[in-house]
Amino acid sequence: MDKKYEAWQNQLVKCIRCGTCRSVCPVFQAADNENTTARGKVRLLEAVSEGKLPLTPELQQRMGKCLLCKACVNGCPSGVKTDELFLSARKLLADQNGLPLAKKLAFTGLTYRKLFDLGLKMGAVFQGVVFKEAPKGRGKLARIPMPSAGLSQRRIIPPLASAPLRTRLPETNTVSSPKVRVAFYTGCMLNYIYPEAGEAIVKILKAHDAEVVIPAKQSCCGTPAFTSGDYQVGRYLAEENIKILADGDYDDIVTGCASCGAALKHEYGNIIEDPKVKQLWEKISKKVKDITEFIVEQGIKQELREVKAKITYHDPCHLVRGMGVSQQPRQLLQAIPGVEYAEMKDAAKCCGAGGTFSMAHYEISRTINDWKLDNAEKTGAAILATGCSACRMHITDGLGQRSSNMKVLHTAEIIAKAYGLN
Ligand code: SF4
Ligand code: SF4
């Protein structure tokens, strides 16, 4: 057997072909094709490892038809780590066949932190040239279809913020008598698209007597790159972020985006190669917490104000299965006076975003998203709370397309309101 497939063996032999993963796979449920299930993909990788199937572009496409939602990992009775297998396969396939030019350029751009920042700031100024307003101010619509950027003309996307989070706040946000020193890893979407949610997180942290440092030199967490197989870029970004976060004496590292949090806490362990940085990561990863975890650990700080609203909650895959956070946001929302909490059916099922999945397979991701929205709307809630910016963007798109009045907010924005902070 080729040496590069040896690492797969432990996992491949565990698969007993039971098909349990079929019953939980959203992509299979939407596309009805055995090749999209974890079992189907495991069989394909087995054929690869036995030398019966080469690493072709067709195989790369099939391995890309996966949300990396981890539902199959959770449900597998044999404990097959399908997520790790699929990521490893995507890396080998990208090494062999490359990535589409637009993707490769976009990922490489992430490694030029200052240029990337400038590009998005310029994008915020000139976004009106390529995008027009969606009806009722729901976001933006592409003026012309841009398939290489995953933008159909019906897809509603949020605008880039005129002022990113990291320009709105100082790098160090002090309080009079700090009890903890916290690094806030904002990632890209809270910085460039949803800065109000990021501001809510900083206000909450300060209300908990935390000195909040928002490291100016942080880069993208690298999830879009390494989940597409670009480990060169993913590894560079992971190692840069860990070095930056290790360069400060932080008690906690707080995130407000599920994908960033799961990357910092777990995924980096399979990506970082430099032994010194790996050692740093081992320490850092133990300090990574979602904002709702942080609040619950510290205890609700003050008497909560009334927020009169019926609210439901969507579990982002990277929060519930990536970071093991599901009770904390519910506990906090239910503690707010005036909130009528309504649990939706299948709250922990993927919303269909799947990072770059929704760009490559928009129609499948919309079908999966519609199931989520049906369940959310059945609760009669006016607000859907969540803790992942990618989920927020995809769900907001779906709600806009069905002209729903339901609003999507970050859980922290609702908590900040109950704290009297916005
Ligand atoms: S649930 Fe696990 S053991 Fe069963 S077919 Fe899927 S991957 Fe194989
Ligand atoms: S990670 Fe999700 S989408 Fe991918 S095979 Fe598993 S259940 Fe299906």
Indicate which CATH number applies to the domain containing 346. 3.40.50
Within this chain, do residues 126 and 52 fall inside the same structural domain, yes or no? Answer: no
Q: Is the dihedral of CA 414, 287, 262, 213 positive or negative?
A: positive
Which of the listed residues 295, 323, 339 is the one where a domain comes to its end? 295
Within this chain, do residues 221 and 282 fall inside the same structural domain, yes or no? Answer: yes
Which of the listed residues 272, 295, 318 is the one where a domain comes to its end? 295
* Cα 108 from Cα 104, distance rounded (Å): 6
* 24 CB near ligand 2 (under 6 Å): yes
Which of the listed residues 295, 315, 340 is the one where a domain comes to its end? 295
Distance 51 CA to ligand 1 centre (A): 22
In a domain, 58, yes or no: yes
Number of domains in the chain: 4
In a domain, 158, yes or no: no
In a domain, 71, yes or no: yes
Distance 1 CA to ligand 1 centre (A): 23
Q: What ligand 1 atom has the least distance to the C-alpha of 20?
A: 1
Which residues touch 50 (CB under 8 Å, ≥6 apart)?
1
Distance 321 CA to ligand 2 centre (A): 12
Within this chain, do residues 236 and 327 fall inside the same structural domain, yes or no? Answer: no
Q: What is the pLDDT of residue 278?
A: 98
The type of residue at 326 is: S
Mean pLDDT of 229-257: 97
The 3-state secondary structure of 375-392, one letter per residue: HHHHCCCCEEEECCHHHH
- Tell me: pLDDT of 225 over 90: yes
Q: What is the pLDDT of residue 99?
A: 95
Within this chain, do residues 238 and 291 fall inside the same structural domain, yes or no? Answer: yes
Q: What is the pLDDT of residue 302?
A: 84
In a domain, 155, yes or no: no
Render pLDDT for 187-224 as a digit per residue (tens, 0 to 9).
Answer: 999 999 999 999 999 999 999 999 999 999 999 999 99
Q: What is the pLDDT of residue 328?
A: 98
* 68 CB near ligand 2 (under 6 Å): yes
Distance 10 CA to ligand 1 centre (A): 14
Within this chain, do residues 256 and 291 fall inside the same structural domain, yes or no? Answer: yes
Within this chain, do residues 261 and 274 fall inside the same structural domain, yes or no? Answer: yes
Tokens found for residue 375: 């369940």
Q: What is the pLDDT of residue 298?
A: 96
Average pLDDT, the chain: 94
Render pLDDT for 112-140 as a digit per residue (tens, 0 to 9).
Answer: 999 999 999 999 988 888 888 888 788 88
* 89 CB near ligand 2 (under 6 Å): no
* 23 CB near ligand 1 (under 6 Å): no
Within this chain, do residues 323 and 376 fall inside the same structural domain, yes or no? Answer: yes
* 29 CB near ligand 1 (under 6 Å): no
Full-model pTM: 0.95
Within this chain, do residues 127 and 219 fall inside the same structural domain, yes or no? Answer: no
What domain range is 68 assigned to? Answer: 3-97
In a domain, 160, yes or no: no
Work out the percent of the chain whose per-residue pLDDT is above 90: 84
- Tell me: pLDDT of 366 over 90: yes
Within this chain, do residues 215 and 123 fall inside the same structural domain, yes or no? Answer: no
Distance 38 CA to ligand 1 centre (A): 7
Angle between helices 327-335 and 411-418 (to 10 degrees): 30
Q: Is the dihedral of CA 408, 409, 410, 411 positive or negative?
A: negative
Residue reference for tokens 């946000």: 173
Candidates 12, 14, 21: which one to mutate for ligand 1, based on the most atoms within 8 Å of Cβ? 21
- Tell me: pLDDT of 245 over 80: yes
By CB neighbour count within 10 A (0-12 exposed, 13-18 middle, 19+ buried), where does 162 fall? exposed
- Tell me: pLDDT of 143 over 90: no
Q: What is the pLDDT of residue 329?
A: 98
The closest residue, in CA terms, to atom 3 on ligand 1 is 15
Q: What is the pLDDT of residue 262?
A: 97
In a domain, 154, yes or no: no
Within this chain, do residues 182 and 249 fall inside the same structural domain, yes or no? Answer: yes
* Cα 222 from Cα 260, distance rounded (Å): 8
Within this chain, do residues 287 and 310 fall inside the same structural domain, yes or no? Answer: no
Residue 91: give its domain's CATH number. 1.10.1060.10
- Judged by its nearest atom, the ligand closest to the C-alpha of residue 46 is 1
Candidates 10, 12, 13, 16: which one to mutate for ligand 1, based on the most atoms within 8 Å of Cβ? 16
* 30 CB near ligand 2 (under 6 Å): no
Q: What is the pLDDT of residue 128?
A: 86
Which residues touch 413 (CB under 8 Å, ≥6 apart)?
196, 197, 200, 422
Q: What is the pLDDT of residue 86?
A: 96
Tell me the C-alpha to C-alpha distance, in Å, between residue 237 and each of 93, 183, 283, 317, 337.
20, 17, 18, 22, 42
In a domain, 174, yes or no: yes
* 39 CB near ligand 1 (under 6 Å): yes
Within this chain, do residues 218 and 257 fall inside the same structural domain, yes or no? Answer: yes
* Cα 313 from Cα 317, distance rounded (Å): 13
In a domain, 342, yes or no: yes
